[in-house]
Amino acid sequence: MRRRSIRFQLILNSLMVILLPLVLFAGYSFWQMYRFNPDEFAQLLFILSVAFAATAILSIILSVNIAEKFTIPLERITTAARRIAAGRLSERVHVRTDNEIDVVGLALNHLASRLEEKLEEVTAEKQKLQLILEHMDNAVLLFDNHGCLLEANRSANLWFNLRPAMLGQHNINALGNSQIDSALKEALVSMRLQQITFKSSLPGLPKIFQGSLIPLPGADGSPTGVLAVFHDITSFKILQERQADFVANASHELSTPLTAIRGFAETLVDGAADQPEESRRFAAIILTEAERMQRLVQDLLQLAKIEAVEYRQTIDCQPTLVQPLLSSIVQELAPAWTQKRIDLSVDLPAEPLRAMTNADMLKQVLVNLIDNAVKYTPDGGFIRIAAYPAGERIHFSVKDSGIGIPAEDLPRIFNRFYRADKSRNRAVSGTGLGLAIVKHLLDALGSTIEVDSQLHNGTTFRFSLPNAAPTPS
């Protein structure tokens, strides 16, 4: 309807422009002719009527042509503009009028092309940002100025057990943490960064998070929401606790022999040196405690060396005969296990076993395991040492009939200075680093150690190493 009205209006305006001067001229001619020559008026009227009719017809044809030439391109431009406004940025105008309408069409096409390019850039940036957020190790959450959860990335969904239905809910309902709610309120009121540290109350392993909450200001400076970023610092906190425990245990282990050395040295200074028997006894105690300190320092240095990346890169593994190595270890430790009347046996196959390993490191592992078994096996008990091939691996085991390890202590026996039931094992000599050294040595050799134990029923340690001469299956 609108198209017709535009076209009709354009035709009417064209007719008026063309015919109005003609009508005025004809009217004036009629009046002059009628006034001065009435006899020729009828003939002139006929001629002018024919001329007027012909002119009118030509004017209508010309007006329609002009209307079609302008209205159709304009309607195409209008339709394209509406589609572009509706989001169809790929729409283009195709008109050719050889006048200014072409310029309008080209301008609209250029505008649509620029809008399409900008939209593609914005979409690409949005996708890039979304990809970064989804693959971040940190949890990112967005809250509105009422404390309701608006957005959450993948890490946040996993850490806080969030579901899509929780979006739009208040943070207390979605996260269930009053510390986060208090920090959100403070950030919105103060318009300053807020940092918090809290433990998760969700099912599963407890985690410790550190969060930064940044208020988002609007155009007028008032807060429109809060962006929260949370870091999982559980491993860092555990490491801090272990370092603190290590320092405390190392200090305790060093202070015990130092106290004894100082006490007996002071006794000697105060006059015991005049008594030969007492002097020898005190000197022997001082020597024993000094040797204990030396062993502790050596074990600490060995642990530090094993953990060093540079050292691990220099480990040289060669085919190593197992039978002679085990035989030498058993002989070295013979005074300890024979004194306690322990039944110690070694179970080895008849054919030679060759492990692809570092001989010194394997010897240290076996010495520590067998020595540990001797210490915690009562008089008259037994120790069974075995090694056997299984395809591409050689399996080792050290089993004893000792006091055993409680189940709750098994995950921690490889920690530095850790001893199960310290009250019962206080009389057992050692630095508390033997099993820690075993674990780190095997880790450096690319192996792991397993332990089975029951209280009062003994303990079995197992590990395996590559077989330098695997038996064909």
CA–chain centroid gap for 383, Å, is 47
pLDDT of amino acid 51:
66
Per-residue model confidence as pLDDT tens digits over 1-48: 444 454 555 555 555 555 556 666 666 565 655 555 555 656 666 666
The confidence score (pLDDT) of residue 3 equals 46
Q: How many CB atoms lie within 10 A of CB 92?
A: 13
Please list the rounded mean pLDDT of every run of 10 residues in the chain (473 residues).
Answer: 50 57 60 57 64 68 65 78 82 74 81 85 80 80 92 88 90 88 92 89 76 90 90 83 71 72 77 72 80 76 77 86 93 90 92 92 92 90 93 93 87 76 52 83 91 89 89 51
Domains of the chain: 2-117 (no CATH), 137-232 (3.30.450.20), 238-309 (1.10.287.130), 315-466 (3.30.565.10)
Q: Provide the β-strand partners of residue 355.
A: 320, 467
Per-residue pLDDT at 423:
46
Looking at residue 460, its pLDDT comes to 94
Instruction: Classify 208 as helix, strand or coil.
Output: strand
The CB-side HSE value for 324 (13 A sphere, CA atoms) comes to 6
Cα–Cα distance, 457 to 454 (Å, whole number): 5
Q: How far apart are CA 338 and CA 396, in angstroms?
A: 23
Query: Is the separation of the CB atoms in 342 and 383 below 8 Å?
Result: yes
Q: Considering the entire predicted model, what is its pTM?
A: 0.52
pLDDT for 195 equals: 92
Helix axes 100-134, 41-85, angle to 10 degrees: 10
Q: What share of the chain is helix, strand, coil (3-state, %, to 5)?
A: 60, 15, 25
- What phi, psi does 401 have (nearest 5°)? -110, 35
- Cα-to-chain-centroid distance, residue 235: 13
Amino acid at 397: S
For the chain, helix (H) and strand (E) counts, in that order, are 13, 12
Q: Which residue has the tokens 């490491």?
A: 239
H or E element in which residue 156 lies: helix 154-159
The predicted pLDDT at position 279 comes to 78
Angle between helices 234-269 and 276-307 (to 10 degrees): 160
Q: Are 93 and 72 in contact (CB under 8 A)?
A: no
What is the maximal distance between C-alpha atoms in the chain?
A: 175
| Backbone φ, ψ for residue 345 (5° rounding) | -135, 155
For 148-205, give the DSSP string. Answer: BEEEE-HHHHHHTT--GGGTTSBHHHHH--HHHHHHHHHHHHH-S-EEEEEE--SSSS
